[in-house]
Amino acid sequence: HSAVDVVFNALHGSYGEDGKVQALLEWHNIPFTGSGSAGSAVGMNKAMTKKMFDSHGIKNQYSVMVESGMIQNEPDSVLSALFNSFVMPAVVKPNSSGSSVGVSIIRKFDDFYPALYNASQHSDEVIVEEYIKGIEATCGVIDHFRGQRYYALPPVEIRPSADFFDYNAKYVSGTQEIVPATFPDVIKKEIERIAIQIHENLGLRHYSRSDFIVHPKRGIFALEVNTLPGLTNESLIPKALRAVGSDLHHLVD
């Protein structure tokens, strides 16, 4: 491995994005792009991300964690406890899965168990959280760009054609991605500030992208952080780079 100058990590999802490949490369002292093993592991684990948000005063949705085994073995008690503690609609998602796989919005009791069971197939734990209706936004952060230690790219506004930005909307259907976003300047600046705070608090490296929802009355909620965001031409960081007169080639250089 001594012949390797640097590993360019463009893997997504489990193993490539959750700190495992990063730990292997760190063990062998091989330089690589993207965040280290610790920040990657936290960023991929939605419950740990939420704990980090809470400890740094970053607003996020109310949520409850359920073990997948309980969903499969004691469905009735899990269902009644959850349904009694949540105002509908709610969001059900696997704790550790990328690309919105296994995520559902629940509007009525009958939808609850199928959604829980589906999410439990993708992770050992399932998160149920309040559904906040608002406009989705995402904001990339780059290290050492244009003379700044942490540089926030302009937030991208996401207006899905479907009800929410699910796997299909992300990769298939006609979702509108507006950059720069149409939010008021004060909201844009705050999204940029929180994205930098998340990047810094998690000790992320090189580049990251945080996702938000903006509620008209309740303000900005942090949803999650992507420690290894996509770098295709259609991906959100390259779109934001082009909006500030840069591009992916420049970032890679």
Find where tokens 């463009």 sit.
Answer: 10
CA distance 103 to 148: 36
* Closest listed residue to residue 115, CA positions, set 90, 81, 87: 90
Q: pLDDT (tens digit, 9 = 90+) per residue, 127-141?
A: 999 999 899 999 999
3-class secondary structure for 143-188?
EEECCEEEEECCCEEEECCCCCCCHHHHHCCCCEEECCCCCCHHHH
**Average pLDDT, rounded, for the chain:** 88
CA distance 58 to 70: 30
3-state secondary structure of 50: helix
In this prediction, residue 163 has a pLDDT band, given cuts at 50, 70 and 90, of low
Residue 231 in contact with residue 238, Cβ under 8 Å?
yes
Average pLDDT of the residues in 188-213: 97
CA distance 22 to 240: 26
Average pLDDT of the residues in 103-129: 88
Residue 198 in contact with residue 225, Cβ under 8 Å?
yes
3-state secondary structure of 44: helix
In this prediction, residue 99 has a pLDDT band, given cuts at 50, 70 and 90, of low
- Global pTM value: 0.86
Q: Looking at the predicted structure, is the pLDDT value of residue 167 above 50? A: no
Task: Give the helix/strand (H/E) hosting 218.
Answer: none
